[in-house]
Structure 1
Amino acid sequence: MLRTALLSALLALCGYASATWLTHDFQVWTAEGARRLEVALQPVVTPPVVVDGPGMTPQPLAQWLAAPGTVTVVDFIYTRCQTVCLSLGSSFQQMEASLLQDRATVPGSASDSPWADAGKRVRLLSISFDGAHDTPDQLQAYARRLQADPAVWQFARIADGAQNAQLLRRFEVVVVPDGRGDFEHNAALLVVDGRGRLVRIFDQTEQQLALDYARDLARRQLP
């Protein structure tokens, strides 16, 4: 009886220790939650990959993202997607409308606020992980369908397959070909600071939360 009790206690202790390690002291219970916590605790540096797109000359992505005082909300899409990417596009459209309103705010007016000023420094970037198909012309046509304003929302792709895979690994974006020419992929809103570091990850339904965080981060980065 005593042996059984001791064995049960040992198993419970091992289970508790494993759960503590796997859930970061019980702060998260899922792999996605762990990913978000790890990014919040340790920002992820953008790898040396080259992007191009409509109105964007080929350049290192880190260079494009690393604009002092600027914050960028990033998502990963492909233009042939008829499911998740449409939802992401809707989220970005809502954020774009808010950011355009920020840009239209007149300094010193009754509607002016630190939030609006900071919002003028927030950008949106959609990166296609299907670079072989999504040429700059394809991305331009896609942007027109979404009525994206390039002053706020831009589109890019990584033409080099190895570099594309490197970025997906670094940002932990899961993309799996479905065998029919499309992809299964996870979806999130990634916030990148003015140093080109991924600092927060939000669910695609949390566009307002992501936008508010991006504005606040931009405000804190203001000189």
Structure 2
Amino acid sequence: MIKNRHNTISLFLVLVFGFVLFFIGTDGFSAFTAETARVKQLIDDKPKFPEVTLEDNKGRKYSISEFEDKYVFITFLYTSCTTVCPELEYNMAQVYDKVPSKYLGEDIVFLSISFDPERDDPATLNKYKDFFNSDGETWRMARISDQAELKSLLDRFGVIVIPDEYGNFAHNSAFYLVDKKGSLINVLDYKEIDEAAKTVINLLENGTEE
């Protein structure tokens, strides 16, 4: 009887200890996965958009300062993708459509950035944008030709891109929201369209994401 009680107490202590370790290790259960933890860290760190040269669908070249005093809603893609990228951009189009038109181009710009600059030249991006009714102005598509600059942006924003031998890429996908000073302030689930649109609209109307 005493032995059973000791076993029960020992088991209880092991469970409690494991529970505490899990709580600490997952930052209070807010990070059940590595991806969730990564996103949480990005939002906490608020990295700055680095100095890179964007070349958009019209062949114009500029830095992120082109969008000074505007929020920037960003996706990362490559146009040869036949899996997640079309869904990502289609969902971005739905968020774009939910934002009141008075804010588009004035207070916020949508920007899709290709991480396949060799194939995604301005002409290709200009053609690709038409599949999603992007106007090329308030929603632009761009590439970063310099590989070192591209890598600096992907690394800073936690975008994982792994090429394969067939010219495709394994990559993570999300909506990235940059504030008017060029800092990343949120990473949103690209499948949660209504939630992403609500976050953007609240930010535009009230200056907060709540």
Tell me the TM-score normalized by structure 1.
Answer: 0.79
- Residue 172 (str. 1) matches residue 124 (str. 2): no
1:219 offset after TM fit, Å?
A: 2.6
Q: Give the partner amino acid of 2:115.
A: F
Aligned to 2:79: 79
CA RMSD across the alignment: 2.7
Aligned residues of 1:76 and 1:187 also touching (Cα < 8 A): yes
Alignment of 1:35-184 (within 5 A): 35-55=38-58, 57-61=60-64, 63-65=65-67, 67-68=68-69, 70-99=70-99, 102-103=100-101, 121-184=107-170
Aligned residues of 1:189 and 1:207 also touching (Cα < 8 A): no
1:16 offset after TM fit, Å?
A: 4.0
Provide, for residues 127-182 of structure 1, a one-character-per-residue CA deviation record: whole Å limited to 9, x for no partner: 00001211111111111233211232101111011111111111111111122111
1:217 offset after TM fit, Å?
A: 1.6
| Percent identity (aligned) | 29
Q: Which has the higher contact order (CA 8 A, sep 6+)?
A: 1
How many residues are aligned here?
Answer: 205
Give the gaps of 5 or more residues in structure 1: 104-115
1:40 offset after TM fit, Å?
A: 3.0
- Residue 204 (str. 1) matches residue 190 (str. 2): yes
Provide, for residues 112-141 of structure 1, a one-character-per-residue CA deviation record: whole Å limited to 9, x for no partner: xxxx65895222110000012111111111
1:14 offset after TM fit, Å?
A: 5.7
User: Which moved further from structure 2: 209-218 or 71-80?
Assistant: 209-218
Tell me the TM-score normalized by structure 2.
Answer: 0.84
* Aligned-partner Cα distance in 2 for 1:133–1:157: 10
* Aligned-partner Cα distance in 1 for 2:127–2:24: 47
Give the gaps of 5 or more residues in structure 2: none
